[in-house]
Amino acid sequence: PRSTFVAKEEQIAFKDCTEAYKSGFTASGIYTLTIPNTTDQAKTYCDMKTDGGGWTIIQKRFDGSVDFHRTWKEYKKGFGDPTGEYWLGNELVSQLTNLQKYILKIQLRDWEGNQAFSLYEHFYLGNEAQKYRINLKGYTGTAGKINSISQPGNDFSTKDADNDKCICKCSQMATGGWWFDACGPSNLNGMYYSLGQNTNKFNGIKWYYWKGSGYSLKATTMMIRPVDF
């Protein structure tokens, strides 16, 4: 039988990427996380370089290879591939961000080579019964203002779970799962459009307070790290 090499950092399970970093694993790459209060495990990409490292990547998009117009169950469990585009999973992110205080950093790239970021000083999600409601406090960044992502307190919606504040069903109209309002200033899980097709698109990868409502971004990353890193 063919033997497959598994890197040491993939064999050991950590709570998050900060724990991996503090255990001496300082190279960015794929790591295995143990989901709190379970024996389940999940793979994630750890960014060990940005702002000192220790970041658990919870969302990554850059080439349109993964379909983000998914069901509630898929967003709960996570999907995609941490070597490429993926969503880590609402349940794991909810569990982690309720164990201790986490910050959220969002990195955005447009098609003209510009970058912007949003940093939230405290980010956590409600549990599934609370529809993975987003909670945010404190903001710095170059991509707008604190409610650039969503109004704090908005519930998560998917194509089969309409929890927004619009009669229009934002997830079906804008595509993707997100903390839609009615339908809100952002959607980083919208349709991926390539250069030349990325303007005047209202169901694209949107961040209104940086690029306006019809511009679809080239790349996005959402990452979390404990405040006391």
As for how many domains the chain has, the answer is 1
Which of 18-32, 89-103, 105-119, 179-193 is the least confident region?
179-193
> Among residues of the chain, what percentage have pLDDT more than 70?
96
What value, to the nearest 5°, has the Cα angle with vertex 114 and ends 109 and 120?
A: 55
The answer to the question of residue 72 being in a domain is: yes
Question: What is the domain extent for residue 68?
Answer: 8-154+215-226
Average pLDDT over residues 156-165: 88
The answer to the question of residue 192 being in a domain is: no
Q: Looking at the predicted structure, is the pLDDT value of residue 6 above 60?
A: no
The answer to the question of residue 116 being in a domain is: yes
Residues linked to residue 108 through DSSP beta bridges, in sequence order: 116, 220
Listed residue (103, 81, 89) closest to 35, CA to CA:
89
The answer to the question of residue 18 being in a domain is: yes
Given pLDDT bands bounded at 50, 70 and 90, which one contains residue 8? low
The answer to the question of residue 147 being in a domain is: yes
For 135-155, write each residue's pLDDT tens digit. Answer: 999 999 999 877 788 877 899
Average pLDDT over residues 180-207: 92
The answer to the question of residue 207 being in a domain is: no
Given pLDDT bands bounded at 50, 70 and 90, which one contains residue 174? confident
- Which is more confidently placed, 6 or 154? 154
Distance (Å, rounded) from C-alpha 205 to C-alpha 201? 9
Structural contact between residues 97 and 217, judged by C-beta atoms closer than 8 angstroms: no
pTM as predicted = 0.93
Given pLDDT bands bounded at 50, 70 and 90, which one contains residue 9? low
* Cis peptide bond N-terminal to 17, omega within 30: no
The answer to the question of residue 201 being in a domain is: no
pLDDT score for 183: 77
We report the CATH number of the domain holding residue 138 as 3.90.215.10
Distance (Å, rounded) from C-alpha 55 to C-alpha 47? 5
The answer to the question of residue 54 being in a domain is: yes
For the four alpha carbons of 171, 224, 133 and 147, in that order, the dihedral sign comes to negative
